[in-house]
Structure formats: structure tokens, C-alpha cells
Amino acid sequence: MEENINNNVAQPAIDSKIPEGPVAEKWTNYKAHQKLVNPANKRRLDIIVVGTGLAGASAAATLGEMGFKVLNFCIQDSPRRAHSIAAQGGINAAKNYQNDGDSVYRLFYDTVKGGDYRAREANVYRLAEVSNNIIDQCVAQGVPFAREYGGLLANRSFGGAQVSRTFYAKGQTGQQLLLGAYSSLNRQIKMGNVKSYNRYEMHDVVIIDGRARGIIARNLVTGELERFAAHAVVIATGGYGNTYFLSTNAMACNVSAAMACYRKGAYFANPAYVQIHPTCIPRHGDKQSKLTLMSESLRNDGRIWVPKSIDDAKRLQNGEIKGSDIPEEERDYYLERRYPAFGNLVPRDVASRAAKERCDKGYGVNNTGQAVFLDFSEAINRLGIDVVRQRYGNLFDMYEEITDVNPGELANEINGVKYYNPMMIYPAIHYTMGGIWVDYELQTSVKGLFAIGECNFSDHGANRLGASALMQGLADGYFVLPYTIQNYLSDQITVPRFSTDLPEFEEAEERVQADLDHLMNIHGNRSVDSIHKELGNIMWDYVGMGRTKQSLETALEKIKELRKEFETNLFVPGTQEGMNIELDKAFRLRDFITMGELIAYDALNREESCGGHFREEHQTEEGEAKRDDENFFYVSCWKYNGDDEKAPTLLKEPLHYEAIKVQTRNYKN
């Protein structure tokens, strides 16, 4: 396998397709291009948008508004139930309402730096530029962002930034933004510009003469396969975090549509860049199927600590004392100690690794030794419980419902200082920076196939800053794709609608049917979840927060064995007709297995540490990520080789930075 990768390194590099010239001008060119498309022709073009999360719903609504005929798919029973609804903390924009020195350039700089200089510079600049439009658009839709007493929109801070630029709606920002996008989408549905297909799962993309011209989707209620044709296909199907089984993602999040595109020639970029979020409720036992995020916004006022003394840690682990029994002077606020300039608001990868480091050294605070405290005592003493609850009330309630501990409750008083129950948190899989490779126009390596939102790789490099996923999803959906897709469509105006009777549709449907038949006919002994859980354990243990050459090679061997187990010992009850949730999950698990391998291949190839990808062999003396810009200053693009069992081929897109000096990240001063 290693040989294979080494051979592949010699493959020709992909053109980055970033237009020449200073970054700011590039985007202006696209705005100008928009005027060249004749509006009278738009109505004749059909676009399939797969996904109704923030990226998909905003794109479908905007394309509908522009006069295209949109077919919009989701696997849930309503577009409103897409995973985006779970987003809690907020959305970034460079409005500088706080007058604290923010600017488009500063948001651009923070995002590139946060991504450990592995993002495409020009894309991030464009993202920062359109960030402000998103807030205006959403306010116009009626999204109830939090406001200050005087009525102005409020902001809070998220990791990796020293300004307050995060707009929020309590701890339900994703829900409110999705309701805004959904109301626009509904208007287009009513006007007949968008046709909505709920409970439909895309199983394959149909390619005709090298261009994406349709999809095969299964009606999840009847079990029937159906064919849909269009002039272009956009996937907005979210991230692949559930490869790890346990994650903060919604249970239905999957990578199958992206894998279908990958198998049909779309490159998969930077799969190893997986984000592990520092503030999740720790795992309890081995029966769990879901982890819960405690929003990063809590780090605005919550302070993260473990005891200074190993004896106190042991007593906490044995349940002899509680966090509130340990006085201020005995607490190690390790983020504030190690990173004085950013303190508790360091980026997620840095905070997660620091928590793991403390727990690995024995300072963990719960019975498994895998938890640290997130404490609001200082904030409650300073601001009062009412103010703190106003900011984080629903998150406190969520924590209490799950753990039966109320973080706003007074628990102890030592030497006149009041101590409240701290939360316990631990890092967990949360977001995936890698995804389907797209060029500057968000087109994949297959013509006419576009990818937006979390399912593409575009803007976050090796680590995403908090509150930037919603920004990217809505930038892609409202402001980037609706313009750039027209560059592709402008010479498609004379192309008539495609018949779904074409042999390419026939062939694609037959292949999907054969895959479904195969899954139903294995008749083995293992449930989908038991195999998925095993995959998750392999991924977490060997391809998790700390990776080594040896652990990654072990992972690849173990995943291969697991694939065999899946292919020969899977049991899917029921029939293909009608609803069969186990069959849906089996189809997705097949793709998670291929995805798991892809993550491991990429992590093995990338012999450096950057952002969320931490190769233990490559760290500084202080345990920080050590990049190798000389050899790895590129986007890894993986090309499918015709069979899931064959190793993929690595292609490289070199990164070009013009506006920002590439340097070592520093959050200490």
C-alpha cells in the first residue's frame, strides 16, 4: 500500500483553477459574469439539488428565485429536519458591529490561520467578503438573531478570534437560519420553481458524455428506485463524521451521495482533516449511539480546568470528591496557562489536544479519566445567574437533561467564594473539513457536478473555526453557487432535457438495484449497527486525535477485515419493498467503510501534523502540531480506481498564497 501511495505521488498535479490576479479582483469578475447570462433562458434549465440543510435549502431557494427549475431532495420527512437544525452557537460575519477592529481581511486571516494554512486562500477571501451579505439576507428573512438592549444585533466570540463576530439566536442558531432558508424555499415551491422530494435518498449520479445529467434516488417510503434528469447536479449532503459511529452529527448524516460521486470520478479532497470538538458530553459506557455537543459559545464565559494535583484527580475519578470541592488555587486552567493570548478561546484542534494531553497524564475528572471541567462559577459570580442563563439557558437545560447535573446550581462555598456545579466535557468527532474536491466555482472534477456546504472541502483547511460552517454553507448556497453555476450553464442553454430512458440511466439504476439485492441476500448474523460500531472503534482508536504510521497501517488492515465481515456476515431484516430503515443504514455503512479507508490513506500519506490532523511523529517539543510546508503544502485529492478494495490514487493541488504569509500558528501571544 505504501508503495502504491509513493507511486501515486508522482501523478501529475491538478490545476488549482484559481484565476490569476489579486484575490479581491477574482470575485468581482464573477459578479460581472452574472450579468452576461440571459435571464430569459434560465427557465429552461433544470438543476438537481441534493440536500436541504443550510447549504442545499439556500441554494435551491436562490436558484428557484433566479428562474431555474429545481428538483430538491432530502432523506428526512421535511427539509427542516436536515442536520443543520442542530447547529447551536452561531454564524460568523465581518460586520465589525462591536467596533473591535474586525474587517473582511481579519476574518479572512483568522480563517486561513485557523485552518493551519492548508485552505485555498482565494476561496477564504471570497467567503469573508460575502459573510456580511449573509447576515443582511437572514435578517431580511426574519431570522431572530440575538440583539442588545438598544436593539442592535449582538455578537459573541468563538475560538481562534480576538474579536466578537459571531451572530447567534440563543443556542439554536442553525434552527433559526434553517427556518429562514426554508421559508424562502417554500415560496419557490409554491411558485412552482422548486419541486421538493422528501424521503428520497440519492444512490447514484448519472454521467452522460462526461457530464453529470441526473441521479438515481430511492423513495424511502415505497422502496422504489426512481430516475431524475437535469442539466446540472449539486450535492449538499453534509459531512462524513459518522464514519466514526459516535459523533455529534445527527444520526442520519451519511457520506453515500459523496461516495457515489467519488466512484463516478469526483476527487475526494483532504479526507484526513476531521474535526474533534473539545466540548462534548463525555461518553458513557458502550451502549451509546450518539454524542452531544456543548456549544463552543460556552467557552466565552466557561473556564476549562483539571486539578493541579494528581491526588485530587484520583479522588474525583473514584467519586470521593466533586469539582466544586476543589478551591480556585488548586485548579489548573491549562488553556489559560498554555495560551495566554487566546485562553479558553483557542481553536478546537488546540483545545481538544490539550484536553487529551491532561487526561493521558492522569488528570481526567470522571470515572473513565476522560473528561475535564467547564466551569461557570467565575461568570456567575461576576454577572449573576440571570445573565448567564440568558446567554446559555437552553444549553444548561440540555446538559441537565442528559447528566442530571444543573451547571447553574450553587454547589459549595469555600473561603467566601461560591462554586457552582461544573460541566464535564471531552473531545468528540464533530465536523469534517475534507470533502468532495471542488474548483473555485464549486464544480467537482466531473463537469456539471457541484458540491456545496460541508460535503465539499473548500474553505477550512486542516481545521475549521467555530461558527464558520454555517457561514460557508450559506455563502455557498445564497451567494456563490447561484452565480458560478451559470458559468457552466451558459453554454448548456441549447441542450434539451434528457430522457431518463437513456442507457446511462438504465445502467446506473441496474447497478444500484444489484447493490441493494446483494445487501438483502447476505443473510449473515451481524446487525448494521454492530459492524458500524466496530468501524467507529477502529477509527477512534487508530485514526483519531493522535495518529502514527503504525496506527494507520493497523487501521487499514482492520478496515479491510471489517469489509469482509460486512460483505459476508451482515443481516438486513425485512424486504426491499416499503420502508426498511436497516436497509437504508446498510447502504450507508458500505460507504462509511470506504470512507474510513480513505481517511486512513490520506492520514498515512500526510507525514506532518496540521490542524485536526495530528501525526504523533510530527510535533514540537511543546506538543504542538508541526507542519512540513516544503513537502505537504498541497490539497490531497484522491481518485477512485474502479473498485472499493483498490487503493485510490493521490493527486495534488498545490496551494498558492499571495496575501497571507505562511507561518507557524501562534495562540500564545
Q: Write out the catalytic residue numbers.
A: 348
Per DSSP, 323 falls in state: G
Nearer to ligand FAD, 81 or 322 (CB): 81
Three-state SS for 502?
A: coil
Q: Could you give the C-alpha distances from 529 to 244, 588, 622, in angstroms and in order? A: 12, 11, 39
Neighbours of 412 (CB within 10 A): 16
In angstroms, rounded to a whole number, what is the distance separating the alpha carbons of residues 156 and 168? 8
Cβ-based neighbours of 21, under 8 Å, separated by 6 or more: none
**Three-state SS across 520-581?**
HCCCCCECHHHHHHHHHHHHHHHCCCCECHHHHHHHHHHHHHHHHHHHHHECCCCCCCCCCH
In angstroms, rounded to a whole number, what is the distance separating the alpha carbons of residues 448 and 490? 12
Nearer to ligand FAD, 381 or 403 (CB): 403
Neighbours of 509 (CB within 10 A): 18
Q: Do the Cβ atoms of 246 and 290 come closer than 8 Å?
A: yes
Three-state SS for 385?
A: helix
In angstroms, rounded to a whole number, what is the distance separating the alpha carbons of residues 79 and 100? 37
Q: Are strands 232-235 and 46-50 parallel, antiparallel or unpaired?
A: parallel
In angstroms, rounded to a whole number, what is the distance separating the alpha carbons of residues 424 and 284? 12
Q: Do the Cβ atoms of 30 and 442 come closer than 8 Å?
A: no
Instruction: Work out how close the CB of 406 gets to ligand FAD at its nearest, in angstroms, rounded to a whole number.
Output: 21
Instruction: Work out how close the CB of 168 gets to ligand FAD at its nearest, in angstroms, rounded to a whole number.
Output: 8
Which run of H or of E encompasses 272?
A: none
Instruction: Work out how close the CB of 421 gets to ligand FAD at its nearest, in angstroms, rounded to a whole number.
Output: 22
Nearer to ligand FAD, 185 or 535 (CB): 185
Rounded to a whole number of angstroms, the CA Rg of the chain reads 24
Taken in order 407, 413, 418, 422, is the CA torsion positive or negative? negative
Instruction: Work out how close the CB of 102 gets to ligand FAD at its nearest, in angstroms, rounded to a whole number.
Output: 17
* Angle, helices 549-569/528-542, rounded to nearest 10 degrees: 170
Instruction: Work out how close the CB of 130 gets to ligand FAD at its nearest, in angstroms, rounded to a whole number.
Output: 15
In angstroms, rounded to a whole number, what is the distance separating the alpha carbons of residues 125 and 129? 6
Nearer to ligand FAD, 248 or 609 (CB): 248
Nearer to ligand FAD, 206 or 316 (CB): 206
Phi, psi of 434 (to 5 degrees): -70, 170
Taken in order 26, 30, 31, 32, is the CA torsion positive or negative? positive
Taken in order 142, 146, 149, 150, is the CA torsion positive or negative? negative
Cβ-based neighbours of 339, under 8 Å, separated by 6 or more: 346, 350, 667, 668
In angstroms, rounded to a whole number, what is the distance separating the alpha carbons of residues 38 and 50? 25
Nearer to ligand FAD, 76 or 219 (CB): 76
**Residue 221 corresponds to which cell in the numbers above?**
417510503
Nearer to ligand FAD, 46 or 312 (CB): 46
Neighbours of 18 (CB within 10 A): 18
Neighbours of 224 (CB within 10 A): 12
What residues form DSSP beta bridges with 13? none
What residue is closest to ligand FAD based on CB? 53
Nearer to ligand FAD, 184 or 237 (CB): 237
Q: Could you give the C-alpha distances from 335 to 313, 332, 574, in angstroms and in order? A: 17, 9, 51
Nearer to ligand FAD, 76 or 500 (CB): 76
Instruction: Work out how close the CB of 401 gets to ligand FAD at its nearest, in angstroms, rounded to a whole number.
Output: 15
Instruction: Work out how close the CB of 464 gets to ligand FAD at its nearest, in angstroms, rounded to a whole number.
Output: 8
Instruction: Work out how close the CB of 39 gets to ligand FAD at its nearest, in angstroms, rounded to a whole number.
Output: 27
Phi/psi-derived region of residue 649, left when phi > 0, alpha when psi is between -120 and 50, beta in every other case: beta
Instruction: Work out how close the CB of 366 gets to ligand FAD at its nearest, in angstroms, rounded to a whole number.
Output: 21
Per DSSP, 631 falls in state: H
Nearer to ligand FAD, 83 or 532 (CB): 83
Nearer to ligand FAD, 85 or 600 (CB): 85
Three-state SS for 219?
A: strand
In angstroms, rounded to a whole number, what is the distance separating the alpha carbons of residues 46 and 350? 44
Residues within the interface to ligand FAD (CB under 6 A): 50-56, 73-76, 82-84, 86-91, 173-174, 201-202, 236-238, 248-249, 253-254, 256-257, 293, 430-431, 453-455, 467-470, 473
Instruction: Work out how close the CB of 455 gets to ligand FAD at its nearest, in angstroms, rounded to a whole number.
Output: 6
Nearer to ligand FAD, 240 or 334 (CB): 240
Three-state SS for 172?
A: coil
